[in-house]
Amino acid sequence: MPKISDAQRAKRREQILEAAWCCFQHRGLSATTMEDIVREAGVSAGSVYLYFASKDELVLAAVDRSLGGLEQELAPLLQDRTTQPLDQLLESMLAALLRFAGHERFDLLRIALHGWSEAQHNAGLAELMRGHYTRFRKSLASTLARRAEFAASPEDAAQLLLSLLLGFIAQRGVLADTDPAALVRGLRAALLGD
């Protein structure tokens, strides 16, 4: 039997994760079965279990992959040493979020709502998500510490911006037509009185 290369392994793992995301979007995390994912991926059950020993492991891997990927997408904005105004930073982050989340077959923003719900009774998932969000909030606070455009501490401002981002995700998942520009205009008006 020929050996599978690391690149082929990574591609198959990604195929399984994408199938899981499709199922999670349509059925939710709890209702999705491994059989659903096997069917969606178009592979054998053995192939899926070769990469993920259980559904819980697959859920954790999918959430870790999506939140880690989002962190990578947002990292250049947070590491940028220019001091673009806060409303422009939020606008850039929302654009990056939408670029990252939108896929042809699934929308990670809608799936996030399922993940948040599942995390309320899955301690491992809650811990994983908390780690990602805490790390992102710290990076955001470091970025905001380089600014002097508001009176709040960088930590408080980071908490506010994270709340805006998470609120945007929730609204987008429920209302679908939520306008990122309206959120930016609202922030600008609240901060600057514009």
Provide the pLDDT for residue 192: 60
Provide the pLDDT for residue 191: 65
Provide the pLDDT for residue 36: 96
Count Cβ atoms below 10 Å from residue 103 Cβ, excluding itself: 13
Provide the pLDDT for residue 148: 61
Provide the pLDDT for residue 133: 95
Query: 176: alpha, beta or left, given left = phi > 0 and alpha = psi -120 to 50?
Result: left
Distance CA 155, CA 186 (A): 21
Provide the pLDDT for residue 117: 92
- CB of 111 within 8 A of CB of 129? no
Beta partners for residue 107, in sequence order: 102
Name the 3-class secondary structure at 111. Answer: helix
pTM of the model: 0.85
Regions of the chain with pLDDT less than 70: 1-2, 147-151, 191-194
Distance CA 75, CA 69 (A): 10
Q: Which domains occur in the chain, in start order?
A: 6-192 (1.10.357.10)
Provide the pLDDT for residue 151: 65
